[in-house]
Chains A and B, each alone.
Chain A
Amino acid sequence: MQHYTAIAHELDRLVARAKVEPDASISRFREVYPEFLDQWTAFPGQALQRAGANIAEFISRLDQQQIPPDQIAPLLAAGGISPDREMIAAGVINVSISSTPLRQETQDLLRAVRGAMTLAPLADHTDMKSCVYAAAIDSAQRHQGEDPDWWSAWLSGVRHASGSEADLTGAVLTALSDMLRNPAAPLDTWRRTVSMLVRSLDWREESVERFWLISQFNDSEVQTERLAVLTEVLATESAASGVDQLMVLPRNANAPQREQVVKRYRDSWFPARTGDAQPAQQGGHATPLLRELQIAVNSTPDNPTEAQATEHLIELHHLTVAAFLAIDGHGALSEELIQNPPAIPDTPALPQQDLNWEQADDAWAERAVNCEEAAQLRPYLDELVRNESIGISSANALVYLATRKSQNELRELALTQIVRYADQISILIAIDHALSKVRVTSRVDTLVREVLGDDIPSRNDDDWYPQVRSMLLARMGQAMLREQDFRMSQVQDEVASLLRLRLETGGEMEANSDDPSELLAQLNHRSRAEVEKLVVNSVRLRQDLERIDAESLLWTVRSRNPTQRYLAQQRIELALFSLSIRARHPDADRFVKNALNELRSRADGATTAIEQSLHTQWALAQLMQIELQRRGDQ
């Protein structure tokens, strides 16, 4: 085997010989070219470029000599299926076609030869490394196997074809991403292959590969068993620091175990920022805010449990509000938010009230319900006061006393107790039982107003019954909260708090609503006015704004519950923000569309509104990254 310099020299000479001795030069090329394919990774960058240019010129001169195209094209076939040979051969053909004019038939045949090696689009430039790199990426995407020898050859080729470390990292991570999603059970060779690829990356602090790994855990298409082997290799064979045995995913891990392990990676590789602590490197992130957004976006699972959905929703909200504040010139406030990540308190245990028959409850109820005067009832109330909850029979007894007894004082005493326990399901059911569609007595009306408030029609109004039922059922919902329901209320409070902050810092009058959908609607109203000015000179963008207006109406009026109402406003916010970005940064159009397509895919699989809300906020966070990056570039 010749040294690369000898091969390079031969290729130089063949260019000159092609004009004078085409047949002899063809014979010699047939000997030299395979050696070039074997040795190309030894060629330094410039030498490789020159070699490619020489081969292209050689082909061109043969073509000018009217050598039949079906004799020219096969000269550049790769021979064999080794990926490193195929990628360089595909690159050479690309450069040959792009360099100099060739007869159409010669071009067509060369394209066909190349098409047998790669499906990467033909580039219209002559940069050898780029052409080879594109073929390498395509080769990895189409390859089905995990054969370590194949991947070793591929890695060798793509390493040499990469114009930068980022290119190599991108290629390796793309290949790993595809293989992690292969639903077939991994073969024994998987470990050797993944070990080779993992060790080709340095996994240093703030590196792209660290962010990438977090996102793999949160993608439900990534096969657990494959990911587990990767973490084994990472812990035992790679240069990655901060990885211990607890961060090796069990091969049969379930979703909570995956969540547990990824949290360890996050804590180890991306510890929460406090005070002036800065990461040693920003890993390519222009600002801490962008870094935190990237971590949060990568950490967001695509198929979350309800608990994960609420946790990540709050995290993303926190960061997107920090971003909006930064954009609006409230840098210090933004920084404060980043420094103080959200911490929703633990949900208290919420034992559900037992509504079964209970002897003690019945006994108390029977004593109470037979009272005819307040003085008879008062002693029994001392027993009641000792209990935090009131049983179903006792509740019915109180309602009976409040609505059926003739003594005013007795009724008022019972009513006072009812109001005291008005948040309990037993009382609400007892009140519901006392309602009648046929005739609403003044006593029932009084009872209802004491418990539900005065915003009820007159008892003689046909709307009294439906309105009271509606309000009572809403109260019953609140009275039957389980831990997971209470958590939703906590999430609502946190989201509302963040939105109020945005409104108040934006100069709005003190935001006085607790309803996140109302608060976000106010922000959207403001955004829409700003976007309208941005699109005034573009027919296409104005039409997009009209479409958003129509869709906004549809989303809003179709919402049937509070999280849907909030989701509707989030969608409006996302739509307006994406239009704003496209109006101000037309070059970002493709990235915006990618983010929205990914959202569509995630949201289609969502089963609840809160999950959809998470995905929408995730998309908004991605758009925010685009916005911040563009601002950073200005």
Chain B
Amino acid sequence: MMRVLLSAMSLISCSLLLGLHGQLQPAGVELDPDQPRQYFEVGELAAAKASRKDDLDKARQVLAMGVVLAERQNDRQTASSCCIAIAKTHGDDPWISQQLWDLALQLDPSRLVQWAEHRRMGGGQMLRRDAAECIRLARTAEYADAKALLDRRGVEDQIRQTAQRLGYNPGEIVSSLRRQVSHTGRDPCNGNYFDAQVENGQSVRRVCREHAYPIGTAESLSMLRQYLAIENACVNDGSELADWGGASAMGQQEALRDPSIRWLVSTYGIDPARPALRNGRWVSSP
């Protein structure tokens, strides 16, 4: 009975907090840091109803705080539920979604089946393949197709994120790609490397020099290495590269970071010393 009552009170708190427009309203009801479950319920509902970025960010903060508070109380189930709820708000960012699922599993190992299912579903696999294909098409002079992919939602971001993860300069990579796909000169070979010409009445194939650099490469060896490394990181889940040297050549040297509450706090800009939400602001006590 008590649980039902508390649950009902939580839902009332949620609706009061959410108001009519699904926003976190300063409605005179605060989140109680001693009840992390509240943060989960309010945050999840707010995230589902959020129509603006600010509202979504606030909802994520509530959930993130829920993780911190629940973990402190050793309520690992609530902590991991909050992580998963935040992950679900990052449909366009498979990397961060995966970090959150990993943190959820770390907090509550009983989530293994759900975690494996999320992993199996590929979270962003198509986007990564599009990113790799975009770079490949840019290299192989299929400029129109490359540009179409680069302009597709999420692809440029995926390239940037992967470049960042590998320690490259995302801005340089994307600028180079955009230069490449903006090729407006002649392409008599149609991307085939050899152009058929007529000489002395006979058809002869010549190397098509209408490109700034040979088809398949890039503006420099260094840029080519980075392109290939990004393609590799997007296409491979790491299993194909068994050789440490080959992996090093492809920029696959990044450190293995464990998901952590500290990362969560930093990513969502919350202060564990201010866990209560009053009038839309985080404060130290209700």
> Contacting B244 at CB < 8 Å: which of A392, A469, A471, A488?
A488
8 A Cβ contacts from A573-590 to B: none
Instruction: State whether the Cβ of B97 lies closer than 8 Å to any Cβ in chain A.
Output: no
A514-B217 Cα distance, complex, nearest whole Å: 32
A83-B167 Cα distance, complex, nearest whole Å: 51
Per-residue 0/1 for B212-241: is the Cβ within 8 Å of any A Cβ (1 yes, 0 no)?
011111000100110011011101111011
The answer to whether A473 and B248 have CB atoms under 8 Å apart is no
A611-B215 Cα distance, complex, nearest whole Å: 37
The answer to whether B225 and A609 have CB atoms under 8 Å apart is no
Per-residue 0/1 for A549-580: is the Cβ within 8 Å of any B Cβ (1 yes, 0 no)?
01101110111111111011000000000000
The answer to whether A366 and B205 have CB atoms under 8 Å apart is yes
How far apart are B181's CB and chain A's nearest CB, in angstroms? 16
Instruction: State whether the Cβ of B9 lies closer than 8 Å to any Cβ in chain A.
Output: no
Interface size on B, residues (CB 8 A): 54
The answer to whether B245 and A492 have CB atoms under 8 Å apart is yes
The answer to whether B193 and A478 have CB atoms under 8 Å apart is no
Residues from chain A with Cβ under 8 Å of B250 in the complex: 473-474, 476-477, 480
Residues from chain A with Cβ under 8 Å of B221 in the complex: 352, 354-355
Instruction: State whether the Cβ of B96 lies closer than 8 Å to any Cβ in chain A.
Output: no
Instruction: State whether the Cβ of B4 lies closer than 8 Å to any Cβ in chain A.
Output: no
A86-B11 Cα distance, complex, nearest whole Å: 64
Asked whether A486 and B256 contact (CB < 8 A) given A370-B204, A470-B236, A480-B225, the answer is: no
A355-B206 Cα distance, complex, nearest whole Å: 18
The answer to whether B217 and A559 have CB atoms under 8 Å apart is no
The answer to whether B244 and A362 have CB atoms under 8 Å apart is no
8 A Cβ contacts from A321-379 to B: 352, 354-357, 362, 365-366, 369-370
Residues from chain B with Cβ under 8 Å of A369 in the complex: 194, 205
Instruction: State whether the Cβ of A430 lies closer than 8 Å to any Cβ in chain B.
Output: yes
A489-B109 Cα distance, complex, nearest whole Å: 35
Instruction: State whether the Cβ of B114 lies closer than 8 Å to any Cβ in chain A.
Output: no
A608-B248 Cα distance, complex, nearest whole Å: 10
A470-B129 Cα distance, complex, nearest whole Å: 10
Asked whether A470 and B235 contact (CB < 8 A) given A480-B228, A561-B252, the answer is: yes
Closest to B167 in A: A607
The answer to whether B246 and A474 have CB atoms under 8 Å apart is yes
Residues from chain A with Cβ under 8 Å of B176 in the complex: none
Asked whether A481 and B217 contact (CB < 8 A) given A369-B194, A560-B254, the answer is: no
How far apart are B279's CB and chain A's nearest CB, in angstroms? 37
Asked whether A562 and B213 contact (CB < 8 A) given A469-B235, A480-B225, A608-B254, the answer is: no
> Contacting A608 at CB < 8 Å: which of B206, B213, B255?
B255
> Contacting A559 at CB < 8 Å: which of B228, B235, B242, B256?
B256
Closest to B105 in A: A554
8 A Cβ contacts from B152-196 to A: 167, 193-194
The answer to whether B194 and A396 have CB atoms under 8 Å apart is yes
Tell me if A's interface is mostly helix, strand, loop or mixed: helix
The answer to whether B243 and A568 have CB atoms under 8 Å apart is no
Instruction: State whether the Cβ of B42 lies closer than 8 Å to any Cβ in chain A.
Output: no
> Contacting A474 at CB < 8 Å: which of B140, B193, B224, B241?
B241
Instruction: State whether the Cβ of B209 lies closer than 8 Å to any Cβ in chain A.
Output: yes
The answer to whether B245 and A612 have CB atoms under 8 Å apart is no
Residues from chain B with Cβ under 8 Å of A487 in the complex: 245
> Contacting B193 at CB < 8 Å: which of A400, A557, A608?
A400
How far apart are B81's CB and chain A's nearest CB, in angstroms? 17
The answer to whether B217 and A429 have CB atoms under 8 Å apart is yes
Residues from chain B with Cβ under 8 Å of A476 in the complex: 228, 232, 250
A553-B105 Cα distance, complex, nearest whole Å: 10
The answer to whether B241 and A433 have CB atoms under 8 Å apart is no
The answer to whether B238 and A471 have CB atoms under 8 Å apart is no
A607-B217 Cα distance, complex, nearest whole Å: 29
Instruction: State whether the Cβ of B132 lies closer than 8 Å to any Cβ in chain A.
Output: yes
8 A Cβ contacts from A465-513 to B: 466, 469-471, 473-478, 480-482, 484-492
How far apart are B190's CB and chain A's nearest CB, in angstroms? 13
The answer to whether A554 and B106 have CB atoms under 8 Å apart is yes
Residues from chain B with Cβ under 8 Å of A554 in the complex: 102, 105-106, 258
A555-B109 Cα distance, complex, nearest whole Å: 13
The answer to whether B246 and A429 have CB atoms under 8 Å apart is no
Residues from chain B with Cβ under 8 Å of A561 in the complex: 238, 241, 247, 252-254
Instruction: State whether the Cβ of A432 lies closer than 8 Å to any Cβ in chain B.
Output: yes
- Which 7 residue pairs across A and B have the least CB separation, nearest first? A489-B245, A477-B246, A561-B252, A550-B109, A477-B250, A478-B246, A492-B244
Q: Give the interface of B toward A (CB within 8 A).
A: 102, 105-106, 109, 112, 119, 129, 132-133, 136, 139-140, 167, 193-194, 204-207, 209, 213-217, 221, 224-225, 228-229, 231-233, 235-238, 240-250, 252-256, 258
In the complex, 25 of the A-B residue pairs with CB atoms within 8 angstroms, ordered by the A residue number, are A352-B221, A354-B221, A355-B221, A357-B214, A393-B193, A393-B214, A429-B139, A433-B215, A473-B236, A474-B240, A474-B241, A477-B229, A477-B246, A477-B252, A478-B243, A481-B249, A489-B245, A492-B243, A550-B112, A554-B102, A562-B238, A562-B252, A563-B244, A608-B253, A609-B255
Q: Give the interface of A toward B (CB within 8 A).
A: 352, 354-357, 362, 365-366, 369-370, 392-393, 396-397, 400, 429-430, 432-433, 437, 466, 469-471, 473-478, 480-482, 484-492, 514-515, 546, 550-551, 553-555, 557-565, 567-568, 603, 606-612
